A and B are shown apart, each in its own frame.
Chain A
Amino acid sequence: MNLYLVKRILALIPVLFVVSVVIFLIIHITPGDPASVILGESATAQDVEALRQQLGLDLPIYQQYMNWITDVLRGDLGESYFMKESVSEAIFSHLQPTLSLAILAQIIALLIAIPLGITAALRRGTAADQTVMGFSLLGMAIPSFLLALFLILLVGVKLQWLPVAGYKPLEAGLWNHLKYLILPAVSLGAIQSALITRMTRSSMLEVLNMNYMKAARSKGVKERQLIYKHALRNAFLPILTVIGQTFGGLVTGAVVTETIFNIPGIGQLIINSVERRDYEVIQGVVLFVTCVYVFINLIVDILYGVIDPRVRLERK
């Protein structure tokens, strides 16, 4: 086992600890008592007290945290008071749409960003380059939900090519599944691609000027291979970092995008929970998504080593 990997995983512990404390505390900064909020204004004092005990709200705060975190570590994120199901079940049943959306959006982002970034780098200073960079500047100023709304106006209302709301699970057939996801995924992916394009371009520019590119050309390597094998693999590290970082943006965007397109995913779960003040669910979802985010960045770090032997071997 790689020593670096162990260190990297150990370093996650304080981060996740802080995350859990922050998320736990959020409920407790609520003005007023969660129990009475849950039960509404018509509840009797007796009912509120009973619920407080049931939720463990009468205990000292560190005790509450200990109880909660022990449950969390066992995989128990608590019960949704409104949905009468466990939070983990709620998350699980809303996971597939979000996962599909995020993956599809990431694929679209890369399909747009990498070729555009490479083209811009190869034709630096030309009109093509400036157009790509212009679009990328524009992309960084448009929130993805806004692009989603514009796309609905254009594709959904004017052209009527694709459905603008709803969701079909994968079991309903791949095309049915994708049909509903294309617009939301494009709106998310296109915005994500803005930053990745910029990164690809500058990273490629740096690599293209390296001596080993000239040396490879002097061996008779063909242009295509030169770019896609020799250059891209070297340029990919910074791109990978951005991909890891933008995943946070992807989740963020997915939350909003899902509500626009009426997709029953994690985003909709949290928004409905906010409306119902279902704190257990809010807590659970935020914690879950954060863990996924942290985990993805860990994978990015591991991929570093796979791509770049310098990283792999230094860390041994």
Chain B
Amino acid sequence: MDALGSNAKRLELSQVKQTLKKEQRRLQLRRFLSNKLMLTGSIIIVLITAFALVGPYLVSYDPYEMDPVKRLQPPGAEHLLGTDNFGRDLLTRIVYGARVSIGVGFSVALISAAAGMVIGLYSGYYRALDQVLMRICDGLMAIPGILLAIALVAALGPMTENVIIALGIVFIPYVARIVRSATLVVREETYIEAMKAQGASAARIIWMHIAPNTLSPLVVQATFIFADAIITEAALSFLGAGVPTPDPSWGNILYDGKLVIFKAWWMTVFPGILIILTVMGLNFAGDGIRDMVDPHSSLSFKRKKKK
């Protein structure tokens, strides 16, 4: 009887081990899959960034040099992607445009992440401040982003820096909201209470202990904002309310392309594809990071009740 009992236990233990192993294998697979998403995204981003950074040294034309004779040449040996309506080399314009578009997107992500983090942390920590700051965020978020950006750029004047500032203001509330809710969760933890009891200063608690816990949602959100900012910049420039001409940005090239869309498809298609690729890469990366830091977000709906 005893021997049988322990036998049963041994059997049970080996079963548990087996189940655990299986579970582990499945988890690894999931990690890999979500990594694959991130991997694809990262590769796209790295390639396009390299394109923007190294590209200018590889192309042999000047992005501003006009040549009326060579207007609207289709893609060919001399001009790989053709020329635009001013006779400028399209590939060169797109390469330099990548610098502007990605630069604007990245700066906006950085600015809104930094400012949004400060606002989110402090309004999450101080109740009174929260009321004021979050009402302001609600108000800003109620205004459709592109209208706010158009109005701000119109008021500040059409300069690339102003586009960055305007888009930064548009996206700050989206970061602040997320950092705030992460802060609210961490603030209730016992160790924060303990630190307060020990007399740690608010600044120390906020920056040393709460801030690190808000980083992963912040990074995810900043990645999505990066993508959104590229789209919005392109839209603004396309409307003639963004990066001023003759500076190349993907939106500006599309703006020029729209004027000659019936004659020069290449001016629309090539910058268009680059925008889509970049945004897709960033979205993939954002999704990938989110799946890694929070495995529940994407898997929760895959659970299936079985009995």
Q: Do chains A and B touch in the complex (CB under 8 A)?
A: yes
Residues of A within 8 A of B109 (CB): none
Decide yes or no whether B289 CB sits under 8 A from chain A.
no
Identity of the chain B residue whose Cβ is nearest the Cβ of A30 in the assembled complex: B155
Contact with B along A246-257 (1 / 0, CB 8 A): 001001100110
For A141, give its contact among B136, B143, B145, B280 (CB under 8 Å).
B280
Q: Tally inter-chain residue pairs, CB-CB below 8 A.
A: 139
Shortest CB-to-CB span from A185 to chain B, Å, is: 18
Total interface residues in chain B, CB < 8 Å: 46
- Tell whether A137 is near chain B: CB-to-CB under 8 Å: yes
Which of A42-50, A84-92, A147-155, A303-311 is found at the contact surface with chain B?
Answer: A147-155
Q: Can you offer 8 A-B residue contacts whose CB atoms are under 8 A?
A: A15-B139, A22-B148, A31-B156, A141-B283, A146-B275, A255-B146, A286-B143, A293-B143
User: Cβ of A256 and Cβ of B144 under 8 Å apart?
Assistant: no
Residues of A within 8 A of B (CB): 14-19, 21-23, 26-27, 29-31, 137-138, 140-143, 145-146, 149-150, 152-153, 157, 202, 205-206, 209, 248, 251-252, 255-256, 259-260, 270-271, 274-275, 277, 279, 282-283, 285-286, 289-290, 293-294
B267 to chain A, nearest CB (A): 10
A15 to B277, CA, bound (A): 36
Q: Which residues of B are found within 8 Å of A26, using beta-carbon distances?
A: 151-152, 155
Tell me if B202 is interfacial: C-beta within 8 Å of chain A. Answer: no
Decide if B142 touches A294 in the complex (CB within 8 Å). yes
Report whether B151 and A286 are in contact in the complex, using a CB–CB cutoff of 8 Å.
yes
For B153, list chain A residues within 8 Å (CB). Answer: 274
Q: Which residues of A contact B241 (CB under 8 A)?
A: 271, 274
A205 to B234, CA, bound (A): 36
Q: Among B138, B151, B283, which residue has the most Cβ atoms of chain A within 10 A?
A: B151
* Residue in chain A with minimal CB distance to B261: A152
User: How far, in angstroms, from A46 to B279 measured CA to CA in the complex?
Assistant: 51
Are A22 and B140 closer than 8 Å at their CB atoms?
Answer: yes
Q: Is there contact, CB below 8 Å, between A251 and B240?
A: no
Cross-chain contact B148 with A286 (CB below 8 angstroms): yes
Q: Which residues of A contact B235 (CB under 8 A)?
A: 143, 145, 252, 256
A206 near B301: Cβ-Cβ < 8 Å? yes
- B135 and A14 within 8 A (CB): yes
From A22, A153, A275, A279, give the contact of B143 (CB < 8 A).
Answer: A22
By a CB distance below 8 angstroms, the chain A residues around B66 are none
- CB pair A270 B261 closer than 8 Å: no
Shortest Cβ distance from A158 into B: residue: B265
Assess the A202–B147 pair: CB atoms within 8 A: no
**Known contacts A150-B268, A202-B301; A19 and B142 CB within 8 A of each other:** yes
Cβ-defined contact, B154 with A274, below 8 A:
yes
A277 near B154 with CB under 8 A, answer yes
- Which of these, A19, A137, A248, A270, contacts B139 with CB under 8 Å? A19
List chain B positions with a Cβ less than 8 A from chain A. 135-136, 138-140, 142-148, 150-157, 227, 231, 234-235, 238-241, 254, 257-258, 261-262, 265, 268-269, 272, 275-277, 279-280, 283, 301, 304-305
Inter-chain CA distance A21–B235, complex, in Å, is: 26
Q: Which 6 A-B pairs have the closest CB atoms?
A: A18-B139, A141-B280, A141-B279, A252-B146, A143-B231, A274-B154
Cα(A42)–Cα(B272), bound, Å: 41
**When chains A and B are docked, how far (Å) is the Cα of A152 from the Cα of B258?**
10
- Distance of B303 from chain A, by nearest CB (Å): 8
How many Å lie between the Cα of A141 and that of B143 in the bound state? 22
Complex CA distance for A270 and B146, rounded to whole angstroms: 11
Pair B150/A290 contact, Cβ less than 8 Å: no
Residues of chain B contacted by A23 (CB below 8 angstroms): 143, 151
Contact (Cβ within 8 A) A252 B239: no
Q: A17-B139, A205-B301 are in contact. List 9 more A-B contacts (CB 8 A).
A: A14-B135, A19-B139, A22-B139, A29-B156, A141-B277, A145-B234, A153-B269, A251-B147, A294-B142
Instruction: Determine the residue in chain B with the shortest Cβ distance to A20.
Output: B139
In the bound complex, do residue A149 and residue B301 qualify as a contact, i.e. CB atoms below 8 Å apart?
no
A259 nearest in chain B by CB position: B239
Asked if A149 contacts B261 (CB within 8 A), the reply is yes
Whole-angstrom distance between the Cβ of A231 and the nearest chain B Cβ: 14
Contacts A23-B151, A26-B152, A209-B305 hold; do A18 and B269 have CB atoms under 8 A apart? Answer: no
Rounded to whole angstroms, the CA-CA distance of A153 and B268 in the bound complex is 9
Please, how many angstroms separate the alpha-carbon atoms of A277 and B304 in the complex?
Answer: 57
A15 touches B138 (CB 8 A): yes
Contacts of B227 in A (CB 8 A): 141
Contact of B239 (CB < 8 Å), options: A31, A202, A256:
A256
Point out the residue from A209, A248, A275 that lies within 8 Å of B304, measured CB to CB.
A209
